[in-house]
Structure 1
């Protein structure tokens, strides 16, 4: 499955995913615990970016590997590792909450992504 998702910073410089069909609390769409740092790398000095995300390989993609699926009482979702970003070794850990399962209908073992200009 492939999905284009826009991410944006609010007035407090906090990152959020723009998922119009999400029926839950907007706080669930906030990008925290390393995901915000990754979005800062992608957007550079900007306050928004759009990513093509997929649970199967896509051309010119960066790769997030699932290292731990969190139980619901720990926030759900999963901890992912980004080994490399734009060819540079990062070994960056980030958390993607249960909204990831809403988007992909599962918690993917691997998430492929690339920026859409």
Structure 2
């Protein structure tokens, strides 16, 4: 499954995923615990970016690897590891909440992503 997702910063410089069909609270779409750092690297000085994301290999993609599935009382979702980013070793840990399961219908073992030019 492939999906293009737009991410944007609000006036407080907080990152959010733009998922129109999400029926839950907007707070659930906030990118925190390392995901915000990744978006800052991708967007640089911009306030938004679009990513092609997939649970199967895509060309020229970065890779997030699932390392831990969190119990619901710990926020649910999964902890992922980004070993390399744009050819540079990062060893960056980040959390993706249950919205990931909503988008992919599961927590993928790997999430492949690359920026889509705007």
Instruction: Name the TM-score, length of structure 2 as normaliser.
Output: 0.99
1-structure distance, mates of 2:51, 2:75: 23
User: 2:38 — aligned with what?
Assistant: 38
Structure 1 outlier segments of 4+, above 3 Å: none
What secondary structure, in the 3-state scheme, does the structure 1 residue paired with 2:108 have? coil
Query: What CA distance in whole angstroms lies between the structure 2 residues aligned with 1:74 and 1:25?
Result: 18
Q: CA RMSD in A?
A: 0.2
CA deviations on 1:57-96 (whole Å, 9 max, x unpaired) are 0000000000000011111100000000000000000000
- 1:71 corresponding residue in structure 2: 71
Question: Which ranges of structure 2 fall in alignment gaps of 5 or more residues?
Answer: none
Separation in 2, partners of 1:21, 1:74: 25
Q: Deviations over 1:22-64 (max 9, x none)?
A: 0000000000000000000000000000000000000000000
Q: CA deviation at 1:21?
A: 0.1
> Gaps spanning 5+ residues in structure 1: where?
none
User: Please, what TM-score do these two structures have when normalized by structure 1?
Assistant: 1.00
Corresponding residue pairs, total: 117
